[in-house]
Amino acid sequence: MPNFLQQPWILAIVLNTALLLPAYLAPKKLLTPEGTLHAWVLGVLLFGCLGWRGYAVMMVYFLVGSAVTRIGMAEKEALGIAEKRSGARGPENVWGSALVAAICAIGFWMLKVWNYRELMQFGKLPEWSLALPPLLLLAYTASIATKLSDTTASEVGKAYGKRTFLITTLKPVPPGTEGAVSLEGTIAGILASALITIVAWGLGMVPHQSPVTILICIVAAFVATNVESVIGATIQEKYDWLTNELVNVMNTAVGAGVAIVLGLIWFKVA
């Protein structure tokens, strides 16, 4: 590999351009033109901050999430409950899904740079900072697991849910209703969060190489997904500014936060 490509940020630009240019030109769009540009920015950011492993986790989410969105597309379009643009992601979808993950990645990268400088200047790392990198990686993974769980639960529930209930009252409601849940969708969401977390664990993106950290991310995703359903059932339709994309940011933030809390407890016990 040429020496200039060994720099992570240069490699990030080259890689994302090479991957997203065919996606932009392809007849079957996974992203809108604007979504492609924003996905490029996100991809460069994640690769530069976390390297190929962190980037790979987000790519798995994007591919699986895009595939899930197309499950039962004809039926969902007929009922008027399909994702707009046949599931093609725009800028709002990119950042609604990945803003929290991006913040975790930037925090991890900044801490790594700061630690390097501290190591060079003082010969040791501040003791308190040692717990932050693994917690940020855990939060990064949990936020992605949360979004994939939410997407999968929603799309599978709309396509295959035999009975859907409003999460706050358990009264039957039509598929696609804000705050609706189904057994099929819930199980699919748990499996999706397990899948992405196992991928992240295998790549070394889930710290403290223990199966317990996999469970932490799955639990965090489950809690956050249900919080998102409660928001949808109670207050989302009351406020015009509370868009699906903003709810997604809140949803993934809850997943990351729960993972950090559980991670702190586990790291102290282990």
Which residues, 6 or more positions from 107, have their beta carbon under 8 angstroms from its beta carbon? Answer: 132, 136
Both structure tokens of 201: 């664990």
Q: Apex CA 11: angle with CA 137 and CA 217, to 5°?
A: 15
**Which domain does 213 fall in, by range?**
3-269
Both structure tokens of 93: 């979808």
Point out which residues pair with 252 in neighbouring strands.
none
Total count of domains within the chain: 1
Return per-residue pLDDT of the chain as tens, 270 residues: 444 445 788 999 999 999 888 776 766 667 788 888 999 999 999 999 999 999 999 999 988 988 888 776 655 555 555 555 555 678 888 999 999 999 999 999 988 877 666 655 665 666 656 678 889 999 999 999 999 999 999 888 888 878 889 999 989 988 878 888 999 999 999 999 999 999 999 998 887 667 889 999 999 999 999 999 999 889 988 888 889 899 999 999 999 999 999 998 887 755
